[in-house]
Amino acid sequence: METGKIKSKDLKMGLANQVVFANTLEELAETNKDILVVTSDSRGSGKLVPFGQKYPDQIVEVGIAEQNLVGVAAGLASAGKKPFAVSPACFITARSLEQIKNDVAYSDNPAVMVGISAGVSYGALGTTHHSLHDFAVLRAINNISIIAPADNYETEQAVRYAADSNKPVYIRLGKKPMPSLKEDDLNFEFGKGRKITEGKDLVFIASGETVYPAWLAAKELEDRHGIKATVVSMHTIKPLDTDLLDSLAEYGAPIITVEEHMVNGGLGEACASHLMQKGHRNAFVMVGIPDEYTVTGSQVEIFNYYGISKEGLYSLGKEMLL
Amino acid sequence: MTDKELQLKSVHLRKNILKYIYMAKAGHTGGSLSCVDILNVLYNRVLNVDPHEFRKPDRDRYIQSKGHSVEALFVTLADRGFFPEADLETLCQHESHYIGHPTKKVNGIEQNTGALGHGLSIGVGEAIAAKLDGKTHRIYTLLGDGELPEGSNWEAFLSAAHYKLDNLYAILDYNKQQITGNNEEVMSLDSVRDKLESFGWAVKEVDGHNLIALEEALNKGPLVAGKPSFIIAHTVKGKGVSYMEGNIKWHHGVPTAEQYQLAMSELQEAEALI
């Protein structure tokens, strides 16, 4: 297993969430022999080479054939196995979407789909390799939950949850090392947003790798202007923690949603839909990738361009309050 | 059950297919009539399944990839005692579980199918799981010829051969017709046998309406040890009703009262000849 190293003066930098996924699954697979990894020539990208070496009988390779990947995983789950189908998020939630919809969700075969290198993790590889649609398409499918963990702790917990779940789960992971967001409060609960900071002047609701820039922006707003913001890691996109949304809206403060996803159909729209229907009228801005040809560049460059960054979110927060 | 009783059952099942499609005013008539002999043989001679305790872990699996021919499956399951036949009077009605494609809400149905090109991959997963667990039950899938152009089938063919799944059987209901017309006009399949053999499957061709030949092909273990088995069942769309046989308009045609009576009397005659 790889070890973490300090990279940030703010938070202890950890591993890429997809490395934590692989490590956690490796640990669970030692005692739970029903756990299988199903890959589409993706064990390297999924950091699962050690898993395959250690448990050769617990890895099923299907080659580059994502439809079969998910169909086979559904069959394995139906037979009582606990398959984790692992493939880049861009492929597993698009090429094999119909298999997720019918063979997993509709047929209620509790496979776990793990979308690796999600969002714009692949950066300059371009739109073919970006998954900016996965929240939207899976939100519109019954009987599958969506988890986008922010840090290593949430990732480990999400994997443990999925391994025990008797329902279909999609876990969305990035490939960039992530810091531990809140080491003193380890309270992951599936379906419940996790408050990273608390404050009633402003609310950031973020998910996955965008929680960290939201946290950095919140810290900057407090340091420079005394603005106290709540930062929520809304790791479970579906089912959405609507109780938490209601309580956050009660602050009366502006709400900013942040996601590594197209704003159409993603976390922001899910939050907006609930808040509006419940009669909350907070100032509300969705930050994500707009409905346009995504700018080229690395993940960081794309984040910066669209304001999914410490600077972008700081400026937006300041603009909404000052 | 004697061979004669099995033959009589095929006629009975055909009558029921028409009865419930006529009652529901909906259904996939032609394809159900072409595959019903295969289902009759599977459920009455081949599959180790218990209607009263369907989910037994070691049961044989049957996954109907060509889900639209669900009426053939429904009448076969009802006849085998999975549920009361009277349930089929609700076919395609509001809030009924007996809809136009298989769903697991119906006792005896393994998977929710209907989107084409899905069943075989699920079967591959089931077959791999059985191999991993050292179990000896068999996995049968029924494919339609019209769904063979779906690329996912060919992904599944590759993986079944790669994993040497000789516990997996794919049966092709090869009636050579689909909704638009003949397979060869829509998308040429020739030669299915050559294609499957080159994909590493063991292939056997049978008359898909010859119950004894079907049983022999399906019930004697894998065609070749270490290979998945592909049974090409040559069938006739609309089989058993003269005016439906080979006529593409009966893909999902529903008979009028007059046509229904004619079909039933033809089947009555067929029954008398057995």
Domains A13-179 and A194-321 share a fold: yes
């009366």: which residue's tokens? A252
Tell me which residue in B104, B121, B133 faces A72 most closely, judged by beta carbons: B121
What's B181-222 look like in SS3? EEHHHHCCCCCHHHHHHHCCCEEEEEECCCHHHHHHHHCCCC
* One pLDDT digit (tens) per residue for chain B, 274 residues: 999 999 999 999 999 999 999 999 999 999 999 999 999 999 999 999 999 999 999 999 999 999 999 999 999 999 999 999 999 999 999 999 999 999 999 999 999 999 999 999 999 999 999 999 999 999 999 999 999 999 999 999 999 999 999 999 999 999 999 999 999 999 999 999 999 999 999 999 999 999 999 999 999 999 999 999 999 999 999 999 999 999 999 999 999 999 999 999 999 999 999 9
- In angstroms, what separates the C-alpha of A67 from chain B's closest C-alpha? 6
Tokens of A267: 């976390």
Q: Which of A70, A74, A102 sits opposite B115 (nearest CB)?
A: A102
**Three-class SS state of B241:** coil
Question: Which fold is adopted by the domain B3-273?
Answer: Rossmann fold (3.40.50)
The pLDDT, as a whole number, for residue B221 is: 94
DSSP B114-171: -STT-HHHHHHHHHHHHHHTT----EEEEEESTTTTSHHHHHHHHHHHHTT-TTEEEE
Provide, as residue numbers in chain B, all residues whose Cβ is less than 8 Å from the Cβ of A98. Answer: 115, 118
CA distance B120 to chain A (A): 8
The pLDDT score that the predictor gives to residue A182 is 86
Q: Most B CBs within 10 Å: which of A33, A107, A109, as the mutation test of the B interface?
A: A107
| Residue A9: per-residue pLDDT | 56
Residues of A in contact with B99 (CB under 8 A): none
CB contact under 8 A, A79 and B122: no
- Residue of chain B nearest A95, judged by CA positions: B152
φ, ψ of residue A127 in degrees (nearest 5): -60, -35
Domain positions in chain A are 13-179, 194-321
What is the assigned CATH class of domain A194-321? alpha beta
ipTM of the modeled complex: 0.97
B12 alpha-carbon distance from chain centroid: 16
* B143, B170 contact by CB (below 8 A): yes
1.10.760.10, 3.40.50.720, 3.30.1490.390, 3.40.50.970: which CATH number matches A13-179?
3.40.50.970
pLDDT for A7 equals 42
- Residue-wise pLDDT for B163-175, tens only, equals 999 999 999 999 9
Q: Which strand (E) or helix (H) includes residue A235?
A: none
Per-residue CA distances from A247 to A179, A199, A207, A253, B244 (Å): 27, 12, 18, 11, 64
Whole-number Å distance between alpha carbons of A9 and B157: 53
Q: State the Cα–Cα distance between residues A93 and A96, nearest whole angstrom.
A: 6
Inter-chain CB proximity A108 and B104 less than 8 Å: yes
Q: Distance of CA A286 to CAs A205, A264, A265, A301, A311, Å?
A: 9, 10, 11, 19, 16
Nearest CA to CA, how far is A104 from chain B (Å)?
9
Q: What is the pLDDT of residue A46?
A: 87
Helices B29-41, B211-218: crossing angle, 10 deg rounding: 60
pLDDT, tens digit (0-9, with 9 covering 90-100), for A110-135: 999 999 999 999 999 999 999 999 99
pLDDT at A6: 36
Distance from C-alpha of A139 to C-alpha of A145, rounded to nearest angstrom: 8
Judging contacts by C-beta atoms under 8 Å, the chain B residues touching residue A60 are 128
Is A71 in contact with B156 (Cβ distance < 8 A)? yes
The Cα B109–Cα B142 span in angstroms is 13
Whether residue A106 and residue B156 make contact (CB cut-off 8 A), yes or no, is: no
Report CB contact under 8 Å: B152, A68: yes
Residues of chain A with pLDDT under 70: 1-9, 185
User: How far apart are alpha carbons B131 and B125 in whole angstroms?
Assistant: 10
Asked whether the beta carbons of residue A71 and residue B124 sit closer than 8 angstroms, the reply is yes
Nearest chain B residue to A57 by CA distance is B132
Closest by alpha carbon to A211, among A181, A236, A237, A186?
Answer: A181
Of A72, A103, A113, which to mutate for an interface test with B (greatest number of B Cβ within 10 Å)? A72
